[in-house]
Amino acid sequence: MATEVHDTRDVLHVKNATVANSRFEDVNLSNSHFHVTNLSAAVFDKVLLANARVNNANLSGVFLSDVNMSNVRIEKAIWTGMTIDGVKVDDLFKAYEAAQAAEGGGS
């Protein structure tokens, strides 16, 4: 049975629940926290994630398209096989390291 929540402002605490196949349309989830949450196969379309924090997450296989990634910081990441606009991130790092070595390692 589907539970529907329409035209309301509320704070939800969802715990030990399966809400697979749910739809969120025109929803404000700002300041929400997702802890030990499986978002595999989730689809995000026209989503505002400005100032969001993602920690200890498995994003393998994620496809990002038509995204504004200005001022995004990525730290402590495994980026094996990752590409940006078809360019392997590994190749970008190799080119950066080669450029750094060519200019004497200076910043």
CB 82 within 8 A of CB 89: yes
Average the pLDDT over 66-77 and give the result. 93
Say yes or no to pLDDT of 35 above 70.
yes
Question: What pLDDT does 105 receive?
Answer: 65
Average the pLDDT over 7-30 and give the result. 90
Average the pLDDT over 82-90 and give the result. 95
Whole-number CA gyration radius for the chain: 19
Pairing of strands 83-84, 87-88: antiparallel
